[in-house]
Chain A
Amino acid sequence: MSAVDATTDGLAAPKRLKRRVAWWKSAWFDVVQFVLLSGLLIWITWRGAASMDYRWQWYRLPRYFYRVIDGELIWGPLINGLFVTLEIAAWGMVLTLIIGLITAILRLSESVGGRVLAKVYLESIRNTPLLVQVSIFYFVLQPILGINNPLWTGILCLAFFEGSFASEIIRAGINSVHRGQWEASTSIGLSKTKTYLYVILPQAIPLMLPPMTGTLINLIKHSAILSFVAVFELTTEARNMIGDTFMSFEVWFVVGPMYLVLTISLSTLVGWLERRVRRHR
């Protein structure tokens, strides 16, 4: 940072002049403060653990990721749990999109029955906790519908939950296309379906993409609630590990960042998508 005094002759100064900033006003000082605060929090946590006579056993963790037996790589429970979480997110996203699309179509349709059904679905999802929905899916609907894999009950439940948000995103995306586009398409003789296909959706889908990625992030976050029922995703595996080994801190300090890496990399993707969409508008 170049600090030149304010009385310098402006004509002779081709470069930008910056007044001297007091050290306690500079951005660096703020960053240092922040680092110190973070350090303090870590220290408090560590002191807290020490005061409970907590025995750190980090060395026991690696084998919960993977083991090599007879030259063969075997994934540990944490990696297996991560795979299940990703599987839930992937299938969940597909189903979420289908449910969201159907609901959006029903809501935008002229059919009274369709709109009522969509409304009943949306209100019952919005006004009950996800945990209760999971319970109803697992304890009530699973036996009634004869689903024999709790994983699929979980995926179905999450898809119905996120589907309510997805339908909102789809509806908002379609509604955000200017009314004049409908009028223009009608005037050149396109049917309603063709207007959707060739005029409305090509404009609406880029707008839906960033919030849809947000829905995917939520799927990952909310999949942790399936540890409540017997779905062996990441959080369930973590809880089982704690039950076996009592390494609460180590396990959560590892599982938390695993989720963080997943969600933050997706958020970064959302940010990138949003910038791209804006550039094209």
Chain B
Amino acid sequence: MARNTGDNAMIRLEGVSKWFGNFRALCDVDLTVDQGERVVICGPSGSGKSTLIRCINRLEEHESGRIVVDGIVMDDDTKHIADIRAEVGMVFQQFNLFPHLSVLENCTLGPMKARGIGRAEAQKLAMEYLEKVHIPEQAGKFPSQLSGGQQQRVAIARSLCMTPKVMLFDEPTSALDPEMIKEVLDVMIELAETGMTMICVTHEMGFAKTVADKMIFMDAGQIVEAATPADFFSNPKSERTKLFLSQILSH
């Protein structure tokens, strides 16, 4: 299991547990993610992967344990929650773009209303990131006029506009048609190359092999295995991991 690696830790989870009613979604999870590290989390559905990363920016409230992001302790203090959210960007399975705002407005809303940046500067920033995800020409359109892949890339740009230190991806390609998965993964690989700290929940094992520094396999709310991609794919230690990999890699 991953252990603390000194002062370089960007995210540190210690004994984090979370219940939904009587169902224990997270069971005493320890995890450390260093600055610039790319972590890919996989596991069967209902294993607590999404819950885990949603706890990191307080979309879910953990009930015991300790979460520290960039030295800020996650507690009930709304100031701390806001500070952490300002450093952590998130991309959702269902994109969750704001349908009533144009692509550009989607990207400028956070910088303008949360950071207090002026409109002109926010738009300049937004165009910069829209170029990084290769769709500056769509800036004036509404989300409903874009394809799924384009929408997800806008969602990535929207998060980047807040200049986060960490990016969380919650199954970013699961809701996409097969022919659109690649354009999103390409953007994510480019982002990984810039040295961004990333945690991705995904089943795209090709992507994982390319970018991951660390692979994590979760089952029943616990981290079953954490290893480098080389070890993880060629020499998994746990039976559950082996079973999962055989199912997911069989085709």
Contacts and interface: CB of A to CB of B under 8 A. Distances in A.
Interface of A: 4, 6-11, 13, 16-19, 22, 25
Contacts of A10: 15, 17, 27-28, 64-65
Given A10-B27, A10-B28, A11-B28, A17 B15 contact: no
Interface in B209-230: none
A8 to B, nearest CB: 6
Interface string B51-66: 0000000000001111
Interface string B21-59: 010000110000000000000000000000000000000
Contacts of B19: 16
B29 to A, nearest CB: 9
B28 A19 contact: no
Given A10-B27, A10-B28, A11-B28, A19 B63 contact: yes
Contacts, number: 29
- Give the interface SS of chain A, mostly helix, strand, loop or mixed: loop
A25 B76 CA distance: 11
Interface of B: 15, 17, 19, 22, 27-28, 63-66, 76
A190 B114 CA distance: 65
Contacts of B15: 7, 9-10
Contacts of B27: 10
- Give the interface SS of chain B, mostly helix, strand, loop or mixed: strand
Nearest to A10: B28
A13 B28 CA distance: 10
Contact of B17 (A17, A22, A25): A17
A18 B64 CA distance: 7
Contact of A7 (B22, B63, B66): B66
A6 B65 contact: yes
A8 B28 contact: no
Given A10-B15, A13-B64, 20 more contacts: A6-B64, A6-B65, A7-B65, A8-B64, A9-B15, A10-B27, A10-B28, A10-B64, A10-B65, A11-B28, A16-B19, A16-B63, A17-B63, A17-B64, A18-B63, A19-B63, A19-B64, A19-B76, A22-B76, A25-B76
A11 to B, nearest CB: 6
A10 B17 CA distance: 7
Contacts of B65: 6-7, 10
Contacts of B28: 10-11
Nearest to B30: A10
Most B Cβ at <10 Å: residue of A6, A9, A25: A6
